[in-house]
Amino acid sequence: MDLDARRIEAYFAFMEAGSLLQLLVDDQVRRDGNLSYPQFVLLARLADAPDGRMRMTDLADSAVHSRSGLSYQARLLEDAGLIQRTPSPHDDRSVTAAITDAGRDILARVMPGHLDAVRQGFFSVLDDSQVEALAVTLSAVRDRLRTLVPSATQRRRKAAGG
């Protein structure tokens, strides 16, 4: 098989595996934590951030969201008591989102089953060297795509008339 055909094969396999894995983990976070996947991702990002806090704009950019989309999800998470939004200390325009104890509890409840599902659906067919190779190549692809796909902030600047 020539290289071009290999590329197309890899690309479609990637997209389809992505759709299927989405369905799998969507289901898991819904069942085990009553969360949508976008909500799970936001919680996981916050939990990983220093102090469990991030500025709304940075969170939107990091999660590939428009700001309005993030505001929508943040409202749902805040109504559920899983995050809290407060004015930022040094810039009164900004809002800082922080994961709450309840948010961390939910995440702790969901994570084990989540990793189990991913292990079963994804890693069970790979050996250690393949996992290593995937971590390397997919990180490179992700970084490359970040440079190509405009962030929420960049899209907004463009729309404003730049």
Partner DNA sequence: TATTGTTATACTCTATAACTATA
Partner DNA sequence: TATAGTTATAGAGTATAACAATA
Q: Which parts of this chain interact with DNA (CB under 7 A)?
A: 36-39, 55-57, 60, 64-76, 85, 88, 91-96, 152-153, 155-157, 159-160, 162
Count CB-CB contacts under 10 A for residue 77: 25
| Residues 22-61 contacting a second copy, CB under 8 A | 22-24, 41
- Under DSSP, is residue 54 helix (H, G, I), strand (E, B) or coil? strand
Count CB-CB contacts under 10 A for residue 6: 10
Interacting span for a second copy (CB under 8 A) from 14-22, 28-36, 53-61, 82-90: 14-22
CB 49 within 8 A of CB 84: no
Picked from DNA, a second copy, none, the partner binding residue 148 (CB below 5 to 8 A depending on kind) is a second copy
Picked from DNA, a second copy, none, the partner binding residue 6 (CB below 5 to 8 A depending on kind) is a second copy
| Using rule CB under 8 A, residue 139 touches a second copy | yes
CB 94 within 8 A of CB 56: yes
